[in-house]
Amino acid sequence: MKLHRKNEITVFILGILLLLLIIISFRLGRYPVNTKELVGILASNFFKIEKFWPEQMETVLYNIRLPRIALACLVGCCLSVAGASYQGVFQNPMAAPDILGASSGAAFGAALAILNYGSSREITLSAFFFSLLTVAIVNFISKRARGKNILGLVLSGIMVSSLFSAGTSFIKLVADPNDQLPAITYWLMGSLSGTKKEDVLFVILPMTMGLIPLFLIRWRMNVLTLGDDEAKTMGVNANQIRLIVIICSTLITAASVSVSGMIGWVGLVIPHLSRKLVGNNYKHLIPASMLFGAIFLLLVDNVSRNLLTTEIPLGILTAFIGAPFFLYLITRRGESY
């Protein structure tokens, strides 16, 4: 009971930290918005307040700062939860959101759209479509593979990811080196630069459709870690739960990658750090991963847009953190997930 209470307090503290970081994030940037003006602008939507802030500040808040902060939180939340869910389903601590090829498919779709001079919206749609298509192909192949379903799914994901990665490389080869190739390369590095309200509105529905079921069935994910036989004796349909988790995790991964590009390591690192805080119980691990993922990516994005005069792609910063942690993860002893 004490551990349960401690974990609830930890999740609550993470929520408070996220709220504080969001407020601080509004103040950071080339056009800072102080707390008084932030509260005034937001409150003016509900109450009649005489403006004491410049019109330009309101434009920056609603069209630039707010969409970017919201998207950083959403993407970090989704990638982290997808990673935690996949690690439970596949019973593999190294499982990450792109294990079924969603990221490789999104990269191919985005590169294809850029090659055809697609608009920002068309690039996002193409990335989202090919991300889902890749996972559908993986699932189709795995059902016809011999042996264990889980192993077949993972091996199919590796194979299909390789094919789509090769397709992306070919597109880079034939792309115009003056404009298309730099655009593809930058997209593959991952960034939230140029985020618009339309981007948030585009992903909010699929993200919600994926996050809510994962949150509601998080108790049953604990049973999956025990194995199918144990789950059956407890009256839980392991295959059904596994299918729901995979579909929802794939959906939120596809939505995230389609608007942010390739941001690695979040889905691998954050779930493990969350376990350090609240343990292996998915009842607390899922909400902790949600909040911790949002905090992490928002913090990294703040560094990205404020450290230098030019933005650093998020994929580079997350790799600097993720790669050393990965080395620690594969060399540690005495722990299992």
Q: What mean pLDDT comes out for the span 251-258? A: 95
Q: Are 153 and 213 in contact, with CB atoms under 8 Å apart?
A: no
Distances, alpha carbon 88 to alpha carbons 63, 100, 241, 301, in Å:
38, 14, 11, 28
Between CA 64 and CA 224 the distance in angstroms is 42
| 14-23, 31-40, 119-128, 203-212: segment of lowest average pLDDT | 31-40
Mean pLDDT, the chain, as a whole number? 89
pLDDT (tens digit, 9 = 90+) per residue, 183-207?
999 999 999 988 999 999 999 999 9
In this predicted structure, the answer to whether residue 243 has a pLDDT above a threshold of 60 is yes
Residue 51 CA to residue 323 CA, distance in Å, equals 48
Residue spans per domain, the chain: 67-327
Distance CA 148, CA 150 (A): 6
pLDDT at position 333 over 70: no
What are the pLDDT digits (tens) for 205-214?
A: 999 999 999 9
pLDDT for 337: 45
> In the CATH scheme, what is the code of domain 67-327?
1.10.3470.10
More confident residue, 99 or 81: 81
Which is it for the CA torsion 131, 132, 133, 135, positive or negative?
positive
Angstrom distances, CA of residue 25 to CA of 20, 59, 77, 243: 9, 16, 17, 37
Convert the pLDDT of each residue in 280-328 to its tens digit: 899 999 999 999 999 999 999 999 998 887 889 999 999 888 778 777 7
Mean pLDDT value of segment 9-26: 95
Place of tokens 């003006």: 37
Report d(CA 226, CA 233) in Å as an integer: 11
**Per-residue pLDDT averaged across 59-65, rounded?**
87
Average pLDDT over residues 60-66: 88
Task: Say which amino acid occupies 316.
Answer: I
pLDDT digits (tens, 9 = 90+) for 213-232: 999 999 888 887 777 777 77
DSSP code for 64: I
The answer, yes or no, to whether residue 244 has pLDDT greater than 80, is: yes
Arithmetic mean of pLDDT, 16-34: 88
Structure confidence by residue, pLDDT tens digits, 132-152: 999 999 989 988 877 667 788
* Reported confidence tier of residue 153, pLDDT bands at 50, 70, 90: confident
Q: What is the pTM of this model?
A: 0.91
> Which residue would you say has higher pLDDT here, 135 or 93?
135
